[in-house]
Structure 1
Amino acid sequence: MAEQKMLKFVSVSRDMPVKRDAAERREDFDEIYREFAAAKAAEQASRCSQCGVPYCQTHCPLHNNIPDWLKLTAEGRLREAYELSQSTNTFPEICGRICPQDRLCEGNCVIEQSGHGTVTIGAVEKYITDTAWDEGWVIPVKPAAERPESVGIIGAGPGGLAAADKLRRVGIQVTVYDRHDRAGGLLTYGIPGFKLEKDVVVRRNDQLVQSGVTFELDCNIGETLSFDELRSRHDAILIATGVYKSRDLGGPGAGLPGIVKAIDYLTTSNHLSFGDPVPAFESGELNAEGKRVVVIGGGDTAMDCVRTAIRQGAAKVTCLYRRDRANMPGSQREVANAEEEGVEFGWLTAPKGFTGDAAVTGVRVSRMRLGAPDVSGRQTPEVIPDADYTEPAELVIKALGFEPEELPKLWNVDGLEVTRWGTIKADFLTKQTSLEGVYAAGDIVRGASLVVWAIRDGREAADSILAWLDTRAVEAVAAE
């Protein structure tokens, strides 16, 4: 009788890849988790219960066929596992590294709910695709036939790149425009290397170039190229800019030098990882070395900032968040990693102002308590009277989230409708905007969200654009 490869969650305990020691990883920007070995990946994949209703798949925005590729991994059929994973996810090795699995697939694993510890889905996903790269299974797209239609994509982040990949697979001519000097968007300049090493992103960008995708970088729509000119170049347009306007923070002293935006701080750090000269770092403006650093915010961006400051040699790093740990929006796994690396957390605290004359010297902090639930069901933070204190700081980083830029105004385009939040108004299913042949996907439609949602939106937008182009082609033939 053949050995049972699956359902080993009762006899095999959950085990993550080895995590580098905190003291070691504080010294560099390398990823903190080691790779699974083949035997360990197969062992952990074999813990899947192959349940009839896979909640892991349901709660994955891409609805990845997780139980199936776990089974294939357990059986040693890695190439098939990779091909199945790639069929629903454009960048599985990236999602395996940066998705908050504890809130998505792993957090909803059936055996996790039964007390046996979740399957390490993210680590196996990363292992499968890293193996595929090593073995040469990841190859440039080669469409069966080229098509004459062209699509212009504004934004080289995960949503835009996912759409570009899917459109190239059917032979559409694709040009991606981005304001930065490298493609990847937040994958390149927003997420630190200790979560996503940059060569992982670069090799995907290179694959897209080899697949025939054209990139026009350092291209700021509205300045370098007008939106109208862009539309004249292409049969369809996809807006996938993401949201990069930082939410601000008022209060006395809010304009003091030394108070910076998270996006500027993280972009500077990632430029350094490429070896780029960065005057703002060299001057000390965006360098945490030797400073007492306060990061304000509780999301994943805040965790990226505190852990970056630790690696830059900050004297002390404190994170202020107005709710408690249980209500923190960021990944609990990231919070634990930050604590291991020496970050201090000020739970139930909120800034009310800043001290200093020529530059910031501290944050005036209000202590908070959780009151009655709001309309979302979350308890509302309330200020505790007469409990303020000052947290010393020479560098304050605002990680309060992001909002959309005013694209119709920036691009001088009429008729592009936006919501009351400033996001692009697009059809929920088709991603079609108020302008014919113009689509929008990712954070610029749904607001600041996860990379995995941007990938899903980009893939769905590509399907809609292709359907629209097919309809136009049929109508053109009928009119002849």
Structure 2
Amino acid sequence: MANQKMLQFVKVEREMPEKRPPDLRKQDFGEIYADYALEKAEEQSGRCSQCGVPYCQTHCPLHNNIPDWLRLTAEGRLEEAYELSQATNTFPEICGRICPQDRLCEGNCVIEQSGHGTVTIGSVEKYITDTAWEKGWVKPIQPHQELTESIGIIGAGPGGLAAADVLRRQGFQVVVYDRYDRAGGLMTYGIPGFKLEKDVVMKRINQLEQGGVDFVLNCNVGEDISFDAIRGKHDAVLIATGVYKSRDLQAPGVGAQGIVRAIDFLTASNRKSFGDDVPEFDSGELNAEGKRVVVIGGGDTAMDCVRTSVRQGATSVKCLYRRDKANMPGSQREVNNAEEEGVEFVWLSAPKGFTGETIEGVMVQKMRLGSPDATGRQAPEIIEGSDYIEDADLVVMALGFEPEDLPALWDVPELEVTRWGTIKADFQTHATAIPGVYAVGDIVRGASLVVWAIRDGREAADAIGNYINGANSIAAE
């Protein structure tokens, strides 16, 4: 009987939750997708073909048990679906909203390959967990026993928080140190509300606090407390700082007023949405209202910047990217959302310099795609004599992020880094060169996805538990 609910993809079309019309959604920072109703969630889950080898699960960094929780949803067994989904994922409601499902689970769905349109895995995941919060199925963390050992976690982004959750459930005392005044890292201050409303993140942070995780905020390691002091206070330390140093562009006029970094622009906007006092926004420095905005870059951060500019009331928003649409790193879904909202993409274009002491324009070089580079992507080549000037009152640089020099900043020369400046850590245990010190997320991988940071954090938490238990058993002998 149960299987009659499944394999409906032949009869039932793929249907995403309704999207708010562009004219309406441009006026606020609310999420753009509505929620499924129960019948729709059941119907769309029932399109799953229950593959013997589920590629959706294989291509999910967390190896979420997707076919099983889709089946449970199709059968109306939502609480069991939630239990199964959160068994492998610390923050399913966040992944359901911001994972690039088109590149991961949904992009590898077998029925998609057969031309029937992928199962809407992300939307169902979001629906299951939102329902769980609503119905009170999300329980506070209650360790079976309290342990005396403590873990210090540096960084309250997805990697650090996922580890904090697992370690706290095991009974360890957990202290999270973060430089910002709110926990959440880029989930709080980097990702705009139209992709991830802030109360969704704050709810999880409250759950961790109520479960006994201690947060030390406004705390800059290396300034307010030394790395050695944190090591001295705890039995193990996890570094989960993320990468926050913006990549710079070397070009004439790059110091002009009105050229800003993506992280500053997005943080100011998100702080405004919390109701904070943000002088740089109020002065117009980090505010797109009434301006011709040019965003440089082609990743998801660039998409966040163009769509934020539209909502702030920019007169025009253009995105310059040196490759074409097919070769951009950002999510195609985000590009489509931006285009619907009136953003103009200027493909195969790169900045050569900037005009005006206060920004007046971007000198643009047109490009073409040449032969593939070492990664197989076609390398952009300059088309000589095709330069022109793109007028601009605000230029947002979204060229990606690099790691800060932690060994120097924290005065720990023994912390080994790669030639890219990321921390060297074991791929499975996430242990660094320093005993009892672990590292996860973007500070190890380079700028990556929230879902990979969650996976790293969960794995590292288990390794830290084993390390402490191993040390205890040696001490007992």
TM-score (structure 1 length as normaliser): 0.99
Tell me the residue number matched to 1:473.
472
* Alignment partners' CA distance in 1, 2:99 and 2:171: 30
Q: What pairs with 1:158-307 in structure 2 (closer than 5 Å)? A: 158-307=158-307
* Alignment partners' CA distance in 2, 1:308 and 1:374: 33
Q: What pairs with 1:77-92 in structure 2 (closer than 5 Å)? A: 77-92=77-92
Q: Structure 1 stretches (4+) deviating beyond 3 angstroms?
A: none
Tell me the residue number matched to 2:104.
104
Q: Deviations over 1:293-341 (max 9, x none)?
A: 0000000000000000000000000000000000010000000000000
Tell me the residue number matched to 1:376.
375
Q: What pairs with 1:448-463 in structure 2 (closer than 5 Å)? A: 448-463=447-462
Tell me the residue number matched to 1:51.
51
What is the CA-CA distance between 1:140 and the residue it aligns to?
1.0
RMSD: 0.7
* Alignment partners' CA distance in 2, 1:348 and 1:118: 30
SS of residue matched to 1:218: coil
Residue 2 to residue 161, structure 1, CA distance change in 2 (3 Å): closer
Contact 2:2-2:75 at 8 Å conserved across structures: no
* Alignment partners' CA distance in 2, 1:264 and 1:3: 51
* Alignment partners' CA distance in 1, 2:238 and 2:401: 21
Tell me the residue number matched to 1:441.
440
Q: Deviations over 1:38-62 (max 9, x none)?
A: 0000000000000111000000000
| Alignment-mate amino acid for residue 125 of structure 2 | E
Percent identity, please.
74
Is 1:414 aligned to 2:413, yes or no?
yes
Q: What pairs with 1:114-129 in structure 2 (closer than 5 Å)? A: 114-129=114-129
* Alignment partners' CA distance in 1, 2:35 and 2:274: 23
- Structure 2 residue runs of 5 or longer lacking an equivalent are none
| Alignment-mate amino acid for residue 418 of structure 1 | V
* Alignment partners' CA distance in 2, 1:322 and 1:181: 36
* Alignment partners' CA distance in 1, 2:79 and 2:472: 37
* Alignment partners' CA distance in 1, 2:439 and 2:16: 37
Is 1:320 aligned to 2:320, yes or no?
yes
Is 1:432 aligned to 2:431, yes or no?
yes
SS of residue matched to 2:369: strand
- Structure 1 residue runs of 5 or longer lacking an equivalent are none
* Alignment partners' CA distance in 1, 2:160 and 2:302: 25
Q: What pairs with 1:358-373 in structure 2 (closer than 5 Å)? A: 359-373=358-372
| Alignment-mate amino acid for residue 258 of structure 2 | G
SS of residue matched to 1:295: strand
Residue 199 to residue 6, structure 1, CA distance change in 2 (3 Å): same
Contact 2:180-2:219 at 8 Å conserved across structures: yes
How many residues in Structure 1 have an aligned counterpart in Structure 2? 477
What is the CA-CA distance between 1:6 and the residue it aligns to?
0.2
| Alignment-mate amino acid for residue 377 of structure 2 | R
Contact 2:42-2:73 at 8 Å conserved across structures: yes
* Alignment partners' CA distance in 2, 1:164 and 1:430: 16
Tell me the residue number matched to 2:392.
393
TM-score (structure 2 length as normaliser): 0.99
* Alignment partners' CA distance in 2, 1:59 and 1:228: 39
Q: Deviations over 1:4-39 (max 9, x none)?
A: 010000000000000000000000000000000000
What is the CA-CA distance between 1:414 and the residue it aligns to?
2.8
Q: Deviations over 1:253-304 (max 9, x none)?
A: 0100000000000000000000000010011100000000000000000000
* Alignment partners' CA distance in 2, 1:140 and 1:175: 18
* Alignment partners' CA distance in 1, 2:386 and 2:458: 50
| Alignment-mate amino acid for residue 59 of structure 1 | H
Q: Deviations over 1:234-271 (max 9, x none)?
A: 00000000000000011110100000000000000000
Tell me the residue number matched to 1:76.
76
* Alignment partners' CA distance in 1, 2:279 and 2:302: 23
* Alignment partners' CA distance in 2, 1:230 and 1:58: 37
| Alignment-mate amino acid for residue 447 of structure 2 | A
What is the CA-CA distance between 1:3 and the residue it aligns to?
7.0
Is 1:157 aligned to 2:136, yes or no?
no
* Alignment partners' CA distance in 2, 1:61 and 1:361: 44
* Alignment partners' CA distance in 1, 2:343 and 2:315: 11
| Alignment-mate amino acid for residue 455 of structure 2 | R
Q: Deviations over 1:215-247 (max 9, x none)?
A: 000000011101111101000000000000000
* Alignment partners' CA distance in 2, 1:218 and 1:142: 27
* Alignment partners' CA distance in 2, 1:52 and 1:243: 39
Q: Deviations over 1:43-84 (max 9, x none)?
A: 000000001110000000000000000000000000000000
Residue 340 to residue 2, structure 1, CA distance change in 2 (3 Å): closer
* Alignment partners' CA distance in 1, 2:103 and 2:167: 30
Tell me the residue number matched to 2:331.
331
What is the CA-CA distance between 1:403 and the residue it aligns to?
0.3
* Alignment partners' CA distance in 1, 2:327 and 2:57: 25
